[in-house]
A and B are shown apart, each in its own frame.
Chain A
Amino acid sequence: MQRIEGAGLIATSFRSLPAFGLTRATTLAQAVEALARYSNACVLNGGTDLAAKFNEGYSPAHMVCINAITSMKSVALRDGALVIGAGVTHYDGARHDLVRSVLPGFAQAWARLANVRVRMSATIGGNVTARRTRYEAAILLSALGAQLQFAAPQGEVSMACENIWSATLPQGALLYEIRIPLRDGLALDYERSMRPVMTQALALDAAGQGRLVTATEFTRPRVLDVQAAGGPPVYTPYAAGDPVAGDRYLNHVAQVFSVRQFERLQKS
């Protein structure tokens, strides 16, 4: 609760938001330039996360609105990769013909994030860069070996999706697209029936090479490189330290799921 003069006691979620400067970028270059100029700037795209952060006390001096940058809203095949603009919403991306034809398991998993109202506004780029462990796009993309492409004043920055949790990005860096390298037979299965306790993504290619990503609500996803040519991937327990799941239970469920997920991928 907070006391506001003239209004008495009100919940913090009902307080007025702090004022900030605004840049409405229409090109990637404009956005990067503005982010470099204002060191304490936030980025507004879908907005489903940002206003909630304001209500948690976040108070940037400047906002760069990027949702008019049309180049960040496309999906394409390029150089053997599925390239998804960071501004693609969950709703549009999961229904995109290219995504559904090239990686149907990913399209199905993507379509289950959040609810319809959120899916229509929230973007895949915002989901990843929010760096919230309960958000799921980074789990799926890490399993698929996705690369994140940032535009920055000093030039391009590329990183593996799983590094988003620990990376320090250059001032002004803006995620503009996500590249999923399409190896032969690459397919994904996502198990989220135990959410929010845990979720798990398994991606395998035709040679049985792939990744198993185990995630919980409160801890960073664990990415495990796996080989599953002759049978289910060998699951290696880890110390997640999650206060809800508990390591013993989490690892047991994750191991059981990994077998089921392997079997589902074999059938598909």
Chain B
Amino acid sequence: MSSVAITFKLNGQTCNASVPAHITLIDYLRDDLDLKGARIGCSRGVCGACTVLIDGKPVAACLTFAFQLDGKSVETIEGLAGNGELDAIQQAFASHSAFQCGYCTSGMILLAKAMIAHEHKPDRETIVDWISSNICRCAGYPQIVAAIEDAVQQAQSVKA
């Protein structure tokens, strides 16, 4: 079995590890690092429940091998809330009740975070385009879009 020495940042903390080449990121996060926020859904990169951010870009952790973290920075949902306070996007989701079963929520929130970082003044169409990357089986899309619109407004006001 081929193992790979990797160095990466996990939610801002530098980590060194040795990982088998064939271990996927989702298994590594959940089983080795005990970070259960990224969920296992379809295991085919379709549902987006396992979305994490690598160097700020949303990726499906089920389609990513753990060794690919080498030299990168990964952000999971566990890294968002600081000092016991929710991130602005998390707070917007809570305020709009933008979840039912909650299985898709961590992926949706990280997707929204990436969108706010990549898009200049995203409108509703842009939000829908991004959110269509992931699936909410409860079909809570109106609340999810409303929450993200709220978070975008907050981010814009902070920038201003």
Q: Does B92 contact A (CB under 8 A)?
A: no
The one of B2, B27, B65, B133 in contact with A117, judged by C-beta atoms closer than 8 angstroms, is B133
Q: In the complex, A13 Cα to B44 Cα: how many Å? A: 8
**How many A residues touch B, CB cutoff 8 Å?**
27
Chain A 1-54 interface residues, beta-carbon cutoff 8 Å to B: 11, 13-14, 16-22, 24, 44, 47-48, 50-52
Q: Is the CB of B4 within 8 A of A17?
A: no
Q: In the complex, A52 Cα to B44 Cα: how many Å? A: 5
Q: Is the CB of B43 within 8 A of A17?
A: no
Residues of B within 8 A of A81 (CB): none
The one of B23, B27, B63, B132 in contact with A48, judged by C-beta atoms closer than 8 angstroms, is B63
Assess A116 versus B133: contact at CB under 8 Å? Given A13-B44, A51-B45. Answer: yes
Q: Does B33 contact A (CB under 8 A)?
A: no
Q: Annotate A51-71 by CB proximity to B: 1 below 8 A, 0 otherwise.
A: 110010000000101010000
Task: Mark A residues whose CB is within 8 Å of B.
Answer: 11, 13-14, 16-22, 24, 44, 47-48, 50-52, 55, 63, 65, 67, 115-118, 120-121
Q: In the complex, A117 Cα to B44 Cα: how many Å? A: 13
Chain B 99-131 interface residues, beta-carbon cutoff 8 Å to A: 111, 115, 129-130
Residues of A within 8 A of B68 (CB): 47, 65, 67
Shortest B96–chain A CB gap in Å is 21
Assess A19 versus B57: contact at CB under 8 Å? Given A52-B44, A52-B63. Answer: no
Q: In the complex, A17 Cα to B65 Cα: how many Å? A: 10
